[in-house]
Amino acid sequence: MRQPSTAKVLHRASKLKGVHKNVHIVSDDGRVDQNDVDISKSMADEVTWFAHGAEGATIEFSSPDGSPFYDSTFRVPAAGSIASGPATSTAVVNKYYKYTVKGRAGQNDPGVIIHN
């Protein structure tokens, strides 16, 4: 079983510098400012999740499709952020990966769409 990410930034070595797609958690029930985030696999884009105020949250890719990233669980520290790192080589292009944002008062299920 994989260990969840606890560091603010965990990256695999890459010569590409992708764009950080910022997703802000806007409430303590896991709602986000973008329900769908488009990621370019070939450009090594990443998602960076930002906490809601002083509240932390957990990001989980737990559907049968798994995670497009090296980790499937990301812990957003209170008043902080965490980056996903680039998509894995096995992430499927043009696929929608659902994930769950778990906040103190509930959860929400947005998604990540992988492009070439």
Give a yes or no: residue 68 inside a domain.
Answer: yes
Residue 93 lies in a domain: yes
User: Is 75 part of any domain?
Assistant: yes
Is there a domain that residue 32 lies in?
A: yes
Number of domains in the chain: 1
The answer to whether residue 66 is domain-embedded is: yes
Range(s) of the domain holding residue 53: 20-115
What is the pTM for the complete model shown?
Answer: 0.84
Q: Exposed, middle or buried by CB within 10 Å (0-12, 13-18, 19+), for 99?
A: buried
The answer to whether 91 touches 84, Cβ cutoff 8 Å, is: no
Contacts for 15 with CB less than 8 Å, ≥ 6 apart: none
Nearest to 82 by CA among 46, 48, 59: 48
> Does residue 10 form part of some domain?
no
Euclidean distance between CA atoms 40 and 28, whole angstroms: 29
Read off the tokens for 114.
């992988």
15 in a structural domain: no
CATH of the domain at 30: 2.60.40.420
pLDDT for the residue 108: 96
In whole angstroms, how large is the CA radius of gyration of the chain? 13
Instruction: Specify the pLDDT at position 16.
Output: 60
pLDDT of the chain, 116 residues: tens digit per residue:
444 444 444 444 445 678 999 999 999 999 999 999 999 999 999 999 999 989 899 999 998 989 999 999 999 999 999 999 999 999 999 999 999 999 999 999 999 999 99
Q: Is 4 a domain residue?
A: no
